[in-house]
Amino acid sequence: MFFKKFHLLLLLMYGVASAQYIATDETYTPLQLIENVLINSGCASVTNVSVSGGNFATGENSWGYFNANGSTFPFAEGVILSTGKIIDAQGPNTFISDDGGGMGWTGDADLNAALSISNSLNATVLEFDFIPLGNQISFDYIFASEEYHGTATCIYSDGFAFLLKEVGSPTYQNLALIPSTTIPVKVTSVHPDIPGACSAQNEQYFDAFNPTEYPTNFNGQTVVLTAQSAVLSGHQYHIKLVIADEGNYRYDSAIFLKGSSFSFGVDLGSDRTFANNNPVCPNESLTLNGTAPGALSYQWNFNTNPIPGQNAATLNFNPPYTSAQNGTYSLTTTYSPTCTTVADIDLDFAPQLIIDKDTYTFCDVDALQDGISTIDFLSYLVPTLFSNLPAGYQVRFYNSPTSATPLLDSFRNTTAFQQIIYAKIENSNCYPAFPVTLNMHIFPETISDVTVGICNNDPITLTADGGFFHYTWDTIAGDETQSIQVTAPGTYRVNIENAANCTKIKTFTVIGSEVATIDNIIVHDFNENNSVEIIASGTGSYEYSIDGINFQNSPVFNNLSGLVYTAYVRDKNGCGTVEQQFYLIQIPNYFTPNGDGFNDYWNIKDINPLSHNAGAVIYIYDRFGKLLKQISTNGLGWDGKFNEKTMPADDYWYNIQLEDGRSARGHFTLKR
């Protein structure tokens, strides 16, 4: 069961705060409620007014008059019909209005038929006959109910109807419908989403679930709705306003009818506006017809201001609409000194659209320059297609004038280089499909980025690829030359534009560089496979050589013979080359002293080509450590004899002492 909170403080302050709630009055007669409150106009002849409702023992009524009483309730005054006591409809929203049980208060057969139910009870009915002047009636109302609470919103609803028929007709027409539908307004047909119970139904017509501090004592209500119908001027009609509980008397509901809103007039037709997607088209003729039988005079107005000379029953609009104004057009119709009606219609006149630009040129930005690329319609086409597109109208694009499937806003053309698509104004039948030509240009040339060095901040020239239409460098404002000169490391970009106005960007990465310094040359010699490592320093990127011709990235060279070499270190960015000589000592592994003139002596050659170690001494021993010979590197060497005696074939040992402090020991072979 749903309970409402009772606030003691509110009751204590009732005398001060009561003005924020509606007030009801049960002293009005039914005729007064109709003639003085609901209609309050001399434009209808009202007869046969009657009311029926609850016969409460305490004398209260289920129908009567109300006013806002200084509260925020939307209607200043009006008529209230309830399934309970109208006094219980007054705020605050602190208790359940739950009247009408056990008193034999019946329902209404016409309501049952209108809503296709069979169990109404506690019906309140206000009905009367009237003869309208004009061809349309309308009035405003709000439906409020205690059944707007929790999951009950999805299940239960009291019923009401505004039943209209021409006198003598057997059939009623229900005017209490959700706009533009045949669905009756009920709790179950107008409500927001109820989590875990039911989804929203016609939520745009639901106002709110009410807090305790609210002008009425109901849990919720609809927004202000309008009941309306076409009628025949001068004919007699009967209208029956009825509300009833459904199923049981619990949880009351009420209808609030806005005072003076029951109006009579002519129907000028539906509004023709941009918002409704149905403006008056540029080549369309329009006639507003307010002809009303018995009318004495007419006056057409624009935004409430009389239009000079327009005092006939019709108002004609003919293209071109160069001076027609968007706004509210109204017709004041006078039937008698006490009956004047006003009917209005909102008109927007769609301009004659002129396509400002129907050809667009794009550049293929993909790596594959095939004339097919992606175009963003919202960024490029929509803002410039029409200069006088009405506010709120949307442009969409299609493959053909008759296609109903719009292209994606991010569109990839399907025909290379040139394609025609069609622009349509959405939700408007005023305009044809406008052809738009898309040209897709390419930039087929390859533009490669470049890395170059700059030597000690000396100026260098960066030159973009030649043969193009235009150049723009990002480093110097206004520089549009093919080449620029720079003096500092950094990243430099040039935008290269071809004759088709397509562009590519070339990036120059300029790195600082300088001539290297050779810090050391580490040699590994005294063997058949000598090697050397060149140690260099500097900020550049270097390559190395030992012949000045063949350069490599590695500073290490292997399998070198004993020779004098020159080490070269070259900056890859062209800042220069440094060089330094070095030598390697190679030890012969054997010799053959057989007198044939080839390899008859063992010695270490080229040990002093750079005037180093000129005084080096070599000692030769047999396998037993006996000194056989002391030789100089400047002589022929050892001939394989000891004291003129030929030594046998065998391994012999050497000990070399260099002047630079190095020494080496090893062995070699004497072969016979």
Over residues 502-552, the pLDDT tens digits come to: 999 999 999 999 999 999 999 888 776 889 999 999 988 999 999 999 999
Q: Between 247 and 395, where is the model more confident? A: 395
- How far apart are the C-alpha atoms of 621 and 656, rounded to whole Å? 12
Task: Flag whether pLDDT at 19 surpasses 80.
Answer: no
Per-residue pLDDT of 648-668, as tens digits, reads: 999 999 999 887 777 888 899
Q: What is the pLDDT of residue 231?
A: 92
- Please give the average per-residue pLDDT across 18-24, as a whole number: 84
Task: Flag whether pLDDT at 16 surpasses 60.
Answer: no
Q: What is the pTM of this model?
A: 0.58
Confidence of residue 17 (pLDDT cuts 50, 70, 90): very low
Q: Are 650 and 623 in contact (CB under 8 A)?
A: yes
Per-residue pLDDT of 130-186, as tens digits, reads: 999 888 999 999 999 999 999 999 998 889 999 999 999 999 999 999 999 999 999
Task: Flag whether pLDDT at 15 surpasses 60.
Answer: no
- How far apart are the C-alpha atoms of 472 and 651, rounded to whole Å? 77
- How far apart are the C-alpha atoms of 225 and 205, rounded to whole Å? 8
Q: What percent of the chain has pLDDT over 90?
A: 71
Residue 200 parent element (H or E): none
Q: Are 412 and 398 in contact (CB under 8 A)?
A: no
- Please give the average per-residue pLDDT across 116-122, as a whole number: 92
- Please give the average per-residue pLDDT across 564-588, as a whole number: 90
- Please give the average per-residue pLDDT across 378-385, as a whole number: 86
CA angle 8/252/205 to nearest 5° reads 100
* 7-21, 162-176, 611-625, range with the lowest pLDDT: 7-21
Four-CA torsion 552, 553, 554, 557, nearest 10 degrees: 10
- How far apart are the C-alpha atoms of 550 and 540, rounded to whole Å? 19
Confidence of residue 671 (pLDDT cuts 50, 70, 90): very high
**Count of CB atoms within 10 A of residue 653's CB?**
17
590: left (phi over 0), alpha (psi -120 to 50) or beta: beta
Per-residue pLDDT of 394-450, as tens digits, reads: 899 999 999 999 999 999 999 999 999 999 998 788 999 999 999 999 999 999 999
Alpha-carbon distances, residue 488 vs 475, 507, 511, 575 (angstroms): 12, 15, 8, 14
Task: Flag whether pLDDT at 325 surpasses 50.
Answer: yes
Q: Are 627 and 621 in contact (CB under 8 A)?
A: yes
